[in-house]
A and B are shown apart, each in its own frame.
Chain A
Amino acid sequence: MEDKFDLHFIEHGYGNRFQGFQNLMRQRIKEILIVSSLYDLYIFEEDGKLYELIRNETRALNLVHAPEITRVSSGYDALRIAKEEKRFDLIITTMHIEDIDVIEFSQKIKDAGINVPIVLLGYDNRELQSIIHTKNVSVFDKIFIWLGDFRIILAIIQYFEDKMNVDHDTRIAGVQSIIVVEDNIRYYSYFNYLIYLEILKQTQRLISEGINLSHRHLRKRARPKILFCSSYEEAWDYYTKYEENILGIIADIEFPMHGKLNNTAGLQLTKNIKKINDETPILILSQSEEYKSEVEKLGVSFVHKYDQLLIEKLRNFFNRYLSFGNFIFRTEDGIEVGQARNLKELEEKLAIVPAESVKFHAERNHFSNWLKARTEFWLAHQLRPRKVSEFPSIEALRRNLIESLIEYRQQRSLGIIEVFDKSTFDPEKSFARIGKGSIGGKARGLGFVNTLINNYDIQNYFDGVRIGIPAGIVIASNVFDQFLEENDLRNFALECDDDLEITRRFVNAEKFPEDIIADLISFLEIVHEPLAVRSSSLLEDSQYHPFAGVYQTYMIPNNQSYPLLRLNELLNAIKSVYASTFYQNAKSYIKVTNFRSDEEKMAVIVQKIVGHNYSGRFYPDFSGVAKSYNFYPLAPQKATDGIALVALGLGKTVVDIGVCTRFCPAFPTDLIQLSSVQDTLKESQSKFYALKMKVESNFGKVTTDNLIQQFPINSAEEDGTLKYSASTYVPESDAIYDGLSRLGPRVITFSPILKNNLFPLPKILELLLEMGSWGMGTPVEIEFAVNMKKEPKEFGFLQMRPLLTRFDSTQMNFSNISDEKLLCKSNSVLGQGTISDITDIVYVDYDVFERARSREAAAEISIFNNQLIMEGRHYLLIGYGRWGSRDPWLGIPVVWSEISGAKVIIEANFKDISVTPSQGTHFFQNLTSFMIGYFSVSNNNKNEFIDLEWLKTCKIVNKQKYVKHLRLEKPLIVKMNDRENTGIIIKPE
């Protein structure tokens, strides 16, 4: 049973993986109905309000749920409430109910179909005994006696909860149980709670370090259950049902068997259990010493019920036999050879104890039990009883056990950014921290991504591809502070306004925290590949301030033969990043936010660059960014399908130049840029960025990213990296063919990947974008780079940040603005947000314009555009047909530069021709890059219109034959709702 399912899911983790433990103890007693006379309640509440007492106790025990208690004194009231409200999980009734006999009442409850356990809570033992012996008390699910401690309520709850959940929890996760057999009501009313408390405390103690608080709460649900029973049959039933998961048995020696009280029932039980499993720990309790020696002869423990040291002895029993104590390594003969207090020690000791001890414990399931007591179910499963015969040797078994522990430790730490440790740092995937302080936004994002990827097993989700973040370290922000202080640079940097000077002083600063240098040296001993040194600061990547690209990134080849040179290069890069905190650019940027430069905390990420060295050029086969939300979707895309930009070589191409291939991951073959040969040639990448690996000694010189150079795409062909991204242009055929099989100039189209699926890039991006936005709760943008040369291919996740949505599109409700107030309304709007500063309108006069004269109109618009640009004024552009159309009959044939000053563009139908909106490539790309609002108005649509008559009432500043320039006193308000692609333009008041 345990083999069939994936125990991973119950391991701890972040987010939803809590649901693993949350699945345990599902059935709870949340609402209790107490039916008691006022006097009984008075007794219960002697120490204070029952409800509060319970609440406090719950809190003291660090339990999360305290039950709600409703009290009534009348049986009929109780019946009524229970029937009407149906919310109770438990009914506790005392002997004295106001208006009805307690048994009759309970029967009525059962008869009414109220399927809730009923507990009789007696007060006086004699009275209880008499009712038991004279009446039929089978209607009660259990009987307890009040011993003056309100905690009995908790014991009752625990009794039922464990009973209700034992089946499910054992099946799902192999949660352990302890069987307690006691028929004496008085005794068990006292004893049960004791045991419960003890188990709880022990479990709490043992839930290991390294897990956060809320997680601990949940793990408690995996504590061993206590199955109380009062007869041989019940006990036997439990035992045979949950045999493998029974931790141990605590039994009275005397309890009913075959319907009659038997004073050696306990012994019988013990014998029969031992026949099945000799090792099951058993503790027998008795009021007299009579059977002590017999019990001990059976090899089980004995304690006197009224022993003063009862609790102590119970505790010892738990520790020794129920795995709550240290793990004691023994040999078969019982000689102790080692002890382990926790997982780490277990791992250590496993390596050194004698082989026969390993064998002894392994075969008897000792490891598993010990781990389960600590709610480490996954490990318990790994270390489940194995026969040595399953392994070639005991040593092999030992190694297997140790490896499981190591794997577990690694798994658990994936997602937590651990402190850098040279001995455990894996240059393929580790991400660790150096120094103290904050790790900054970027590093946190990376850590989070790492967690998601590892906890949801995404690394190998796609065959042949490994998804992960590149290995690296974060130098936490206190190092930055220390550096500034030790070199007395802070004031200087804050005041200086010469970036070069700042850089020079920083790079030449002599002091650098020594412990950090030591770590860096260790790091460089392990990592010999090119490195990217990036900022990860407090103010960066914050949700509301677009800090992207304000601080510097440096890339270093890290390939010099002398380690000292490499260290120096790295230090220079780090110091340069520090310096960039104080560049003018950064300072002025920070001024706009509410932060101050001196508040900034700068951590630095040093990470391997994804890529391969192709004869001195280091670069990834391709890289890019992807956003999970696209403000300019083209049918059939939806905004939520997102958009991706990919380029050959380093991602700098995408960020700096913008010439790259755009595609929507959901529709990878619909490539608007490649619609015609001309468009493709014009708009595809012709150069790419790579890191130059040959570097002379740069000792003392400032390293900037001038080591990154541009190369023509022919170089990529030599390197063999073009085969993933290129197509060939054959001029004679006026066509572009996928791949490199024909002769001709190469064009970057990414057809091999997008059309021919050489690499599942669209699917990977689709999954990761969804994962990211799910994890962050907002649309996200991710940066990635891919190295196809590695085996498995490497998909490097470089960054994830929340996508800026500058405006709150939920406020875009237009229905309450009447049409008369609007200049324009459209259902085909692209763009988002509100623009409220436009006072100039350039529009083509509908009455004068003829399509035959569109070229002249274009020329006139160009003139107005240039004027307005020089005056620094944005404007609203209104015209007919398609803007930017090459065919003058279809629209006004402007080129982008002739209308680049427009902030919002309206395309309307013209008298006789209805035109579909221009989504022609270059024009359109500029629209999107410059975030120009776009309205398309069709007179076929009742909900769309443009009020041309109103334009005639506006003040004309300038006019030409077909085009007029208007100016308004007060600005127009343009609102665009990108989710619904609707928009309005409101006339000024």
Chain B
Amino acid sequence: MPEKKEKQDYLQHCPSCGNSFTPWQKVLLKVDRELICKKCWKKIILLPSGEKLSSDTGLTKKQNK
């Protein structure tokens, strides 16, 4: 489906550090609409319009969830 492809195009990498996602992480991001990048610890939020936001989870300083 072309729709699926489009989604997949931008769901591949973390927008802030470029780390590519594993297949399961892509699923999580698509369904939950947010995911924490395990490399830079930023949280990525998918807005309804399809944009990606990445925000600091503050995890670079702290280390709990």
Contacts and interface: CB of A to CB of B under 8 A. Distances in A.
Direct contact between A and B judged by beta carbons closer than 8 A: yes
Interface of A: 1, 4-5, 8-9, 16-17, 19-20, 23, 171-172, 455-458, 461, 763, 766-767, 770-771, 774
Interface stretch (B10-18, B26-34, B56-64): B26-34
Nearest to A3: B48
Contact of A19 (B24, B27, B34): B34
Given A4-B48, A5-B48, A770 B24 contact: yes
B32 A770 contact: no
The 7 closest A-B pairs by CB, nearest first: A770-B24, A5-B48, A767-B23, A16-B32, A4-B48, A771-B24, A456-B31
A262 B34 CA distance: 48
A767 B32 contact: no
A763 B27 contact: no
A926 B42 CA distance: 45
A23 B24 CA distance: 21
8 contacts: A4-B48, A4-B49, A5-B48, A17-B32, A172-B48, A767-B23, A770-B24, A774-B24
A23 to B, nearest CB: 8
Contacts of A770: 22-24
Given A457-B27, A767-B24, 15 more contacts: A1-B48, A4-B48, A5-B48, A9-B32, A9-B33, A19-B34, A20-B32, A172-B48, A456-B27, A456-B28, A767-B23, A767-B27, A770-B22, A771-B24, A771-B27
A771 B22 CA distance: 10
Interface of B: 22-24, 27-28, 31-34, 48-49
Given A4-B49, A172-B48, A16 B24 contact: no
Contacts of B48: 1, 4-5, 171-172
Nearest to B47: A5
A455 B22 contact: no
A763 B34 CA distance: 23
Nearest to B23: A767
A24 to B, nearest CB: 13
B58 to A, nearest CB: 13
A20 B28 CA distance: 12
Contact of B32 (A5, A19, A172, A774): A19
Nearest to B28: A16
A455 B32 CA distance: 10
Contacts of A5: 48
Contacts of B32: 9, 16-17, 19-20
A20 B31 CA distance: 10
Contacts of A767: 23-24, 27
Contacts of B27: 456-458, 461, 767, 771
Contacts of A461: 27
Contacts of A8: 31
A5 B45 CA distance: 13
B8 to A, nearest CB: 11
Given A4-B48, A4-B49, A5-B48, A455 B23 contact: no
A779 B24 CA distance: 15
B31 A9 contact: yes
Contacts of A774: 24
A291 B31 CA distance: 52
A843 to B, nearest CB: 44
Contacts of A1: 48
A606 B44 CA distance: 43
A767 B24 CA distance: 6
A770 B24 CA distance: 6
Most buried by B among A455, A766, A770: A770
A380 to B, nearest CB: 17
